[in-house]
Amino acid sequence: MLLFTFLVTLPACLSSMKVSPLIEKISDHKDLKKLLRTRNNVLVLYAKSALVAEHQLKLLSDVAEAVKGRSTISWLDCGDTEGRKLCKKLKVDPSSKPSGVELLHYKDGTYHTEYNRAETFKSIVAFLRDPEGAPLWEEDPNAKDIVHLDTEKEFRRLLKKEERPLLVMFYAPWCGACKRMMPAYQQAATDLKGTYVLAGMNNVHLPEYDRIKEEFSIKAYPTICYFEKGKCQVQFENYGATAKDIADWIKNPRPYQPEAPEVPWAEQDSSVYHLTDKDFDQFVKEHTSVMVMFHAPWCGHCKKMKPEYEQAAEVLQSYEDRPGVLAAVDATASKALAEKFHISGFPTLKYFENGAEKYTLPHLRTQKKIVDWMLNPEAPLPPEPAWEEKQTSIIHLIGEDFREFLKKKRHSLVMFYAPWCPHCKNAIPDFTSAADGFKEDRKIAYAAVDCTKEQNRDLCKQEGVEGYPTVNYYNYGKFVEKYLGERSESDFTGFMRSLREKDHGKGKRKDEL
């Protein structure tokens, strides 16, 4: 009798759920095939039973209204007779999930991915509007103490009601600088909880927020404003700040004062001759033996080597019969020289004899080695070919080709590196060997970007490269995540193999559909 009552009342329960008419119930295989043939952005809820689906269907009804015209939501009861057959055929088993439901996304007629983000209205809507996009900031559990704002109304309400000092980051989801700053910002929010409020407002680049952008002088992202009593008092502009930097600043907010610029090396007292495009040729003709250090002002290894190079120049000057002179060229200012001598990394040492280039000198980084070599200049051992000069399965990318190439690949693992970096040198053989294992797969790429090349500098900043090596994973050209695994061949291979196994699972569903 109880079972009979349950079966009778179940349809009534479902009809009272106020399921949106926009949500289509799938009854059989034919329904699903037709749905995927006619719609290109579909989210399907597979449920252990109709009763279990009730909570999710309430939520998805609201989502369906928000994504109307852009996405389709359907559901399938794996507990009824027909539904059980279809779920078994598709190898979908919602009963194996603690919640009893499984959300799968289909794109362009085929299985795309399992929805595994937060099951909230905002997260599902954001996913369906951009199934390839990154999760919302508020989905990060470490960002729980950030006040997340989505509309101008929410923003104005916060300014009006909040009596504590308030910091608001206006950001865009595609902004690399914003992503790099978020961990420090959210940690500061946790550290300052109860005394100060830190908030984030997304998508301010959209036209609907033009009034906010004009009112608070938002011309780039992130823009971070400090508010007291609803008024923006000052902007925070230290975008490389730590959580402690943010906490210290908010306790004493003041306009950002950049550090005094470092005096260029060429303007300091120096025993090194500083040459430019204009005087270089004449200088090397007038001096029989010249070592030249090509450097860049921002290069940490150049700064580390500079005192050694200066001391070596002083030692060479002390000889009566001077064996040679040391010179330096700022390759970022003297671009013609850098191009003429094919300077691709810093520092680069070259030796000139009687006005002509004779040797490139690797591994001379200390005063003693430099002086000893100048006293007895001889050919160095031939340098090992650069990574990009070797025949491997690695694709070496340049700035303008980067995005176009990756768009054609389903899975790409990209190493951003510097030729001088010891950690890169250690990882390169394993990365290369892993690439060889997938060289026949046209949908997979292992690629590399030399961040010391002039044409790659902006790209590396844009992709969030702050140290070497940085390895990023991309799906059809879109950044998905940083690779944080070990740098062995087996780990690089295992990472890609796990992606291919997921594809294989998708392929099974695709074949069966």
Question: For residue range 183-193, what is the model confidence (pLDDT) as tens digits?
Answer: 999 999 999 99
Please compute the mean of the pLDDT values over residues 251-264 and round it to a whole number: 78
- What CA–CA distance (Å, rounded) separates 137 from 144? 9
Give a three-class secondary structure readout of 153-207: HHHHHHHHHCCCCEEEEECCCCCHHHHHHHHHHHHHHHHCECCEEEEEECCCCCH
pLDDT computed for residue 279 by the predictor: 96
Burial class for 137, CB neighbours closer than 10 Å (0-12, 13-18, 19+): buried
Contact by Cβ (8 Å): 445, 405: yes
| pLDDT greater at residue 132 or residue 278 | 278
pLDDT computed for residue 257 by the predictor: 67
Is residue 78 annotated as a catalytic residue, yes or no? no
Start-end of CATH 3.40.30.10 domains in the chain: 24-133, 138-251, 270-375, 388-508
pLDDT computed for residue 69 by the predictor: 86
Predicted TM-score of the model (pTM): 0.47
pLDDT computed for residue 18 by the predictor: 66
> Quick one: pLDDT band at residue 392, thresholds 50, 70, 90?
very high
pLDDT computed for residue 372 by the predictor: 93
Percent of the chain having pLDDT more than 90?
55
pLDDT computed for residue 108 by the predictor: 86
Q: What is the pLDDT of residues 319-355, one digit of tens each?
A: 988 899 999 999 999 999 999 998 877 899 999 999 9
pLDDT computed for residue 239 by the predictor: 83
Q: Which CATH class is domain 138-251?
A: alpha beta
pLDDT computed for residue 401 by the predictor: 84
Q: Does the pLDDT of residue 169 top 60, yes or no?
A: yes
Please compute the mean of the pLDDT values over residues 20-37 and round it to a whole number: 89
Q: Among 175, 225, 424, 451, which one carries the catalytic annotation? A: 175
Contact by Cβ (8 Å): 481, 135: no
Please compute the mean of the pLDDT values over residues 473-491 and round it to a whole number: 90
Is residue 13 annotated as a catalytic residue, yes or no? no
Residue 62 CA to chain centroid, in angstroms? Answer: 32
Q: What is the pLDDT of residues 67-103, one digit of tens each?
A: 988 899 999 999 998 889 999 989 999 998 888 999 9
| Radius of gyration from C-alpha coordinates of the chain | 30
Is residue 87 annotated as a catalytic residue, yes or no? no
Q: Among 78, 225, 299, 421, which one carries the catalytic annotation? A: 299
Q: Does the pLDDT of residue 366 top 90, yes or no?
A: yes
pLDDT computed for residue 2 by the predictor: 41
Q: Does the pLDDT of residue 157 top 80, yes or no?
A: yes
Q: Copy the structure tokens of residue 112.
A: 């795309």
Is residue 302 annotated as a catalytic residue, yes or no? yes
Q: Among 78, 87, 178, 460, which one carries the catalytic annotation? A: 178
Q: Copy the structure tokens of residue 276.
A: 């430019």
Please compute the mean of the pLDDT values over residues 282-292 and round it to a whole number: 96
pLDDT computed for residue 450 by the predictor: 95
Write down the CATH number for the domain with range 388-508: 3.40.30.10
Contacts of 283 (CB under 8 A, 6+ apart): 273, 275, 290, 327
- What CA–CA distance (Å, rounded) separates 254 from 415? 39
C-alpha pair distances (Å), 328 with each of 279, 318, 378: 12, 19, 20
Write down the CATH number for the domain with range 24-133: 3.40.30.10
Burial class for 380, CB neighbours closer than 10 Å (0-12, 13-18, 19+): middle
- Angle (CA) 187 188 194, round 5°: 110
Contact by Cβ (8 Å): 341, 308: no
Please compute the mean of the pLDDT values over residues 431-442 and round it to a whole number: 93
Contact by Cβ (8 Å): 182, 239: no
What is the chain's mean pLDDT, rounded?
88
Please compute the mean of the pLDDT values over residues 251-268 and round it to a whole number: 81
Q: Among 78, 87, 225, 302, which one carries the catalytic annotation? A: 302
What's the CATH fold of domain 270-375? Glutaredoxin (3.40.30)
- What CA–CA distance (Å, rounded) separates 91 from 457? 47
List the one residue out of 453, 437, 441 whose CA is nearest residue 489. 437
C-alpha pair distances (Å), 410 with each of 416, 443, 452, 500: 19, 5, 27, 10
